[in-house]
Amino acid sequence: MSPAADRHELLGLSGVTCGYASEAVLVDVDLAIHRGEFVGIVGPSGAGKTTALRVLAGSMRVAHGTVRRHPGLRMAYVPQVETINWSFPVTVRECVLMARVHGRRLPWASRAERAQVAAVLAQLDIGDLADRHIRELSGGQQQRVFIARALLGEPELLLMDEPTSGVDVRLRHEILHLLDDLNDHGLAIVLSTHDLNGIAAHLPRVVCLNRRVIGDGVPHDVLSTDVLERTYGASMEVLVHGGMPVVVDSFRRHAPHPHPHAHPHPHADADPHAEPHVHSEARP
C-alpha cells in the first residue's frame, strides 16, 4: 500500500459479473480501492482490464453483483492515448480548458478557469507547450495533457488505461514518477498495464485479472510463477533482482539442430532471450 493509503474505501466491486451483449467478460470480481492507493491491473489482452476500469468509472452497467461508490467521490478516467483523435485542431491550453468549461465555448472561460489551467500545465511541466497544437506532441506529452485534463476536477481517484503503452523507457520513468508524485500528494490511482517489470513490479499493489481476479496484493506475492501462469496461460519465470520481482518470459523455441562445429556452451539449452543480465536468485 502507498504511504498515503488508508482503509477508507473509495470504490468497491462485490461479485461483479458483466460483459457486452450476452458474453460475460468479468466474472464474480471483488475489488476494493481505498483512499491514497496506487493499484496496477495486469492481464493478457482481452482479460477485461479496460472493462474493469469502465465498471469502476461507472460507465458500464453490471449484470450481477454490486458497485459501491463513496458518496461524492471525485474521480477522473483517462482513456488510452491511442483511442483519441489527436489531429483535432486545438492547442494544449485549449484542449485542457475544454475539459474545464464542460462544453461552454472557450471564449467564455473565466479568468479563474484560465488561471487554473495554467497552474495545472505548470504542475505537469508542460506550461511551455500551452500554445502548441496537440498533434505536435510526443506520446509522453500527450499523456501529460490527458492527466492535466483529469486533474482539473481535483479528483481523489484517477483511473488510467495503459498510461505507458507505446512510450520509451525514459518517458515511462517520467510518467511513473509523475504518477508517484501525485499519489504521494494523496491521489488514489488505478491503472492498467501490460508492463509487468517496468510498471507493475514498482507499484504497491497489483491485481492480476483474467476475467476473474487471479491475484491481488503486493508485487512480491502476486508476481509469482503460479499466479502469472494462471493469469496469462503461459509459462513464466520470476527472478528477484535488488529485492524486486523480475518476470521472465520462459518461452522456448524448439531446440535447433546442433551445429556440427559449434563449441559446447554451458547454457546451451537456455533461451538467450529468457536470461536477463542480472545476478538473481530464482523464485519458486
Cβ neighbours of residue 277 under 8 Å, at least 6 residues apart? none
Residue 22 binds to ligand ATP (criterion: CB under 6 A): no
Give the separation between CA 30 and CA 36, rounded to whole angstroms: 19
Q: Pick from 11, 40, 51, 129 the residue near ligand ATP by CB under 6 A.
A: 51
Site string for Mg ion, 26-65 (x = CB under 5 A): -----------------------xx---------------
Shortest separation between residue 203's beta carbon and ligand ATP, angstroms: 17
> Among residues 163 and 215, whose Cβ is nearest to Mg ion?
163
Q: Does the footprint of ligand ATP cover residue 47 (CB under 6 A)?
A: yes
Nearest partner of 164 among 154, 173, 155, judged by Cα: 173
Nearer to ligand ATP, 36 or 43 (CB): 43
**209 touches 201 (CB < 8 A):** no
> Is residue 85 a contact residue for ligand ATP (CB under 6 A)?
no
> What does 164 bind: Mg ion, ligand ATP, none (CB cut-off 5 to 8 Å by kind)?
none
Q: Which listed residue (11, 25, 117, 176) binds ligand ATP by CB under 6 A?
A: 25
Closest CA to 136 of 79, 84, 91: 91
Provide the minimum distance between the beta carbon of 182 and ligand ATP in the complex, in angstroms, as a whole number: 23
CB 45 to ligand ATP: min, Å: 3
Which residues are near Mg ion by CB under 5 A? 49-50
Q: Write out the residues near ligand ATP by the rule CB under 6 A.
A: 20, 25, 43, 45-51
